[in-house]
Amino acid sequence: MAEVLLFHHAQGLTPGMHIFADHLRDAGHVVHTPDLFDGHVFASINEGMAYIEAAGFDALRERGVEMARNLPAELVYAGFSFGVVPAQQLAQTRPGARGALFFHACLPISGEWSFGPWPEGVPVQIHAMDADPIFMREGDIDAAREILEHVKDASIFLYPGDQHYFADSSLPSWDSDAAELLTRRVVDFLRHVNGAGDGPP
């Protein structure tokens, strides 16, 4: 059993986020799904980003980091898009991380906007669509490639399509085939970090 702290994307803690978490629970894992937006759910990415801007990007990031305080150190940190920000900060800076899962976004591990070098022994998976304009054109793919270059146990999976939130079954952007494959890969990853696998996923 792995224990996962899963942060939602900019549209909020949608029903699709709960469904995804339940798939991981059905595989035998403990999954925490904190709500960074106090119950607000938005119809579009733009509306969600407007809320983030109004509430304060750094304030919401810090809220996410604070939500780990009363949880065990041995967590897998996971995030969907905006949720990657607190997930990646925790994976890189909170001792004891068992792994990291980044969906639709990735941050650099060097330079002014990084949280520092990647910690030794923390595996990571990155998932996105190969024609997602946000992931492919706003620096995320470059950050993912940097992680692949410097982290021994790192994988990136690019799925055919141009949707950003393709793994959220409650949104029009959902792609059932890609989401099913992503979920299988995530379950394999959690089995690996839990010590039940024979090697990297």
Give the pLDDT of residue 199.
41
106 backbone dihedrals φ, ψ, rounded to 5°: -160, 145
201 located within any domain: no
Measure Cα distances from 177 to 139, 162, 186 in Å: 26, 14, 14
- CATH at 130: 3.40.50.1820
198 located within any domain: no
165 located within any domain: yes
Q: What is the span of the domain harbouring residue 134?
A: 3-192
179 located within any domain: yes
pLDDT in tens, 96-152: 999 999 999 999 999 877 898 999 999 999 999 999 999 999 999 999 999 999 999
20 located within any domain: yes
pLDDT in tens, 169-183: 999 999 999 999 999
38 located within any domain: yes
Among 108, 111, 109, 90, residue whose Cα is nearest residue 99? 90
107 located within any domain: yes
Contacts of 22 (CB under 8 A, 6+ apart): 31
Per the structure, the count of domains in the chain is 1
**Quick one: what percent of the chain has pLDDT higher than 70?**
97
Residue labelled with tokens 């976004």: 105
Q: What is the CA radius of gyration of the chain?
A: 15
- pTM for the whole thing? 0.94
177 located within any domain: yes
Q: Which two tokens stand for residue 75?
A: 């967590």
Asked whether the predicted pLDDT for residue 197 surpasses 50, the reply is: no
Q: How many CB atoms lie within 10 A of CB 65?
A: 16
Mean local confidence (pLDDT), 9-33:
98
